Structure 1
Amino acid sequence: MLKVFILSVVLTLILTVLFSKKFIPALISRKMGQPILEIGPRWHKSKEGTPTMGGLFFIAAIFIVGILFSFFVFPKEDLPRVWITLGMAAAFGAVGFIDDRAKLLKKQNEGLRAYQKFLFQVIVAAAYLFLMTLYGGLDTKVIFPFLDKTVDFGIAYYGFAIILIVGVNNSVNLTDGIDGLCASVTATVAAFFAVCGFRLPTLLSPEHASDPTLAVLAGMTFGACIGFLVYNWNPARVFMGDTGSLFLGGMVAGLAFLLNVPLVILVVGLFYVIEAASVILQVGFFKLTHGKRLFKMAPIHHHFEKCGWSEPGIAAFGILLTAVIAVFSYCFL
């Protein structure tokens, strides 16, 4: 199992680096540069023209390795949940692709309207849950992490799950605002799920059985993120775009459901939650106070920037916070 896991990491990492090196010049020549918000930090204007939609590189890498492993690695009985998970992530990535293309065509940092994106996301989440119920062994019981408590939500489970999936998807998307942040935090989250795949937490398996399929899918996600960081770490030579961030949001949500503890993503992915919460609080405070701001800018990584933090420093903080919470989560789950 360890050799297969290492292979999954290495293959996706190498393929992502190769695709990035090969196709970044093509994105530049096609003038697929990221439009920059006028209201953002002024130093972000120097990023104007940096190619976007680089998420296509690691999506391709994950799918190539996924297809290869479907023939030689994944147990036949696990193929439905593997491809339903990858399919959900790809569908979210497609929503991001449409959004990115709209931004490029309009030459501004606004693509799909918020309600359009939300509607697409709800449809994708609902389709995922429908297929997982039919072919992936999904049931309506929710395990509450750290409480050793399971509650059967019945039909209400699907509403809860759609809200969770779409919420996680958008939270990961919000995290992709500075160089290397989304990929590095997501790599850390994926590492947590990989460890769980090797040795399931006590809550799920007192005898600490393993889930090789979960470990390998998490390994593919980890390798893809690390490979992308070669070109996305500050100063970034390519951005993943909504294509990449929505895909990764789908992957981490899918990994949480494969672990059968979907709520754990709100704990191990606390950095995502903080990013989303900062936006909600900022908007709410702005409306309640008729124009005052709670943060200098939201999401909160921009607040940190305006407080003088460097982009690598913010990314390092995201990695450290996520790693500490991941260790805590695994030990006490």
Structure 2
Amino acid sequence: MNFIGLLVTLVAAFLLSSVIGVWLIPFLHKLHYGQTILDIGPAWHKSKQGTPTMGGIMFIIGSILACAAGWCTIAFSAQGLVDASSHGTFYLVGGFLMALGFGVIGFLDDYIKVVKKRNLGLKAWQKSAAQLLVAVIYLIAERIFAPNDLLWIPFAGEFSIGWFYYPLMLFIIIGAVNAVNLTDGVDGLAASVTMVAAMGFMLIAAIQSFTQMDLMAAALAGGCLGFLVWNFHPAKVFMGDTGSMFLGGMVVALAFGLRKPVLLLFIGIVYVVETMSDIIQIGSVKLTGKRVFKMAPIHHHFEMCGWSEVKIVVVFSAVTALGCLIAVLSLL
């Protein structure tokens, strides 16, 4: 791995994402693209009403341009070209395109909320259909450019699962993207957790010499850090579904690029817990009429228990770091 190229990618993503905010935030203010805070959330979140949303555009642009810069740095270095095998190239380019596809869905959702003044954005069936389309296109492309039917099981190895691979991966892609989207509910939470997750992927990619995935992970980590300049509590901008769905697509792309989607259970442990808390809460209310948590997803439960937003971000990021450590150990 060319560490200069990796460093260029990481630093460029941070600088681009943070500097874009200098222009983007006033622009969003000017357009009145402010977040509408629903009544179902914690009452004190009402003070965030009007905070600009769609800020995810910062790290979308920053991570893509930074990854291109890192690629070029390696390509023109004395160490030679990045491995241009069809598999590596597909998982890098195809991964970014998939993440962009989900980002576009999120943008449409945000646009409808803030411009059309429909608080719930896209209808559930519209969002689900669009997500399904993006995921199916990605899997078809993978079948063409990087055929795979192997499922990696931690501590056990790889096993061929035939055509069952595709419905299982479809479930993982859509589930993971929506899980990351659920995590975006506290200042700095989704960006911080995803930054730590990206660093975990970066370490694993380096260990396994997956140059393209190392670049993608570095771009994602740097982009999230640059966004946190503006999004850490008290947030001056929110990423919106534009950002959270792009992040979900990137996390999925990294797991698939390493050919180990199951790593998401460890590296994405916070995403999993957030989703399960929501499912458990809804199921409990429907079946018993009682709540298991004070509020779901679980980050709101801890808010209702008196945790500050900063404490939630720190603890959830630490849990993600632990999950990354377990993921690394599972490969040994």
Output the TM-score relative to the length of structure 1: 0.94
Q: Alpha-carbon deviation of 1:332?
A: 2.9
Superposition map of 1:106-117 within 5 A: 106-117=116-127
CA contact 2:197–2:320 (8 Å) conserved in 1: yes
Q: 1:140 maps to which residue?
A: 149
SS at match of 1:76: coil
CA contact 1:70–1:79 (8 Å) conserved in 2: no
Distance (Å, rounded) in 2 between the aligned partners of 1:67 and 1:195: 20
Q: Alpha-carbon deviation of 1:61?
A: 1.1
Distance (Å, rounded) in 1 between the aligned partners of 2:281 and 2:266: 22
Distance (Å, rounded) in 2 between the aligned partners of 1:33 and 1:107: 11
SS at match of 2:235: coil
Q: Alpha-carbon deviation of 1:109?
A: 3.2
Superposition map of 1:46-65 within 5 A: 46-65=47-66
CA contact 1:145–1:261 (8 Å) conserved in 2: no
Instruction: State the one-letter code of the partner of 2:115.
Output: L
Instruction: State the one-letter code of the partner of 1:330.
Output: V
Deviations along 1:34-83, one digit per CA (max 9) or x if unpaired, are 10011111100000000000011110112222334454534333333211
What is the root-mean-square deviation of aligned Cα atoms in Å?
1.3
Q: Alpha-carbon deviation of 1:280?
A: 0.5
The question of 1:85 aligning with 2:95 is answered yes
Q: 2:194 maps to which residue?
A: 186
Q: 1:6 maps to which residue?
A: 7
Alignment CA distance shift 1:38-1:108 (3 Å): farther
The question of 1:322 aligning with 2:320 is answered yes
The sequence identity of aligned pairs, in percent, is: 42
SS at match of 1:142: strand
Q: 1:163 maps to which residue?
A: 171
SS at match of 1:157: helix
Q: 2:111 maps to which residue?
A: 101
Distance (Å, rounded) in 2 between the aligned partners of 1:72 and 1:316: 34
CA contact 1:36–1:108 (8 Å) conserved in 2: no
SS at match of 2:115: helix
Q: 1:257 maps to which residue?
A: 256
- Alignment partner of 1:124 out of 119, 127, 134: 134
Distance (Å, rounded) in 2 between the aligned partners of 1:221 and 1:53: 17
Distance (Å, rounded) in 2 between the aligned partners of 1:117 and 1:151: 33
Q: 2:84 maps to which residue?
A: 76
Deviations along 1:281-307, one digit per CA (max 9) or x if unpaired, are 010000001x32111111010010000
Distance (Å, rounded) in 2 between the aligned partners of 1:327 and 1:90: 28
Deviations along 1:133-187, one digit per CA (max 9) or x if unpaired, are 212x2301101112x1322121111100000000000000000001000000000
Q: Alpha-carbon deviation of 1:254?
A: 0.7
Distance (Å, rounded) in 2 between the aligned partners of 1:214 and 1:70: 11
Q: 1:285 maps to which residue?
A: 284
Q: 1:173 maps to which residue?
A: 181
Instruction: State the one-letter code of the partner of 2:260.
Output: V
Unaligned runs of 5+ in 2: 75-81
Distance (Å, rounded) in 2 between the aligned partners of 1:109 and 1:301: 21
Distance (Å, rounded) in 2 between the aligned partners of 1:143 and 1:80: 20
CA contact 2:139–2:166 (8 Å) conserved in 1: yes
Distance (Å, rounded) in 1 between the aligned partners of 2:69 and 2:198: 20
Q: 1:212 maps to which residue?
A: 211
Q: How many residues are treated as equivalent by the alignment?
A: 321
Alignment CA distance shift 1:172-1:94 (3 Å): same
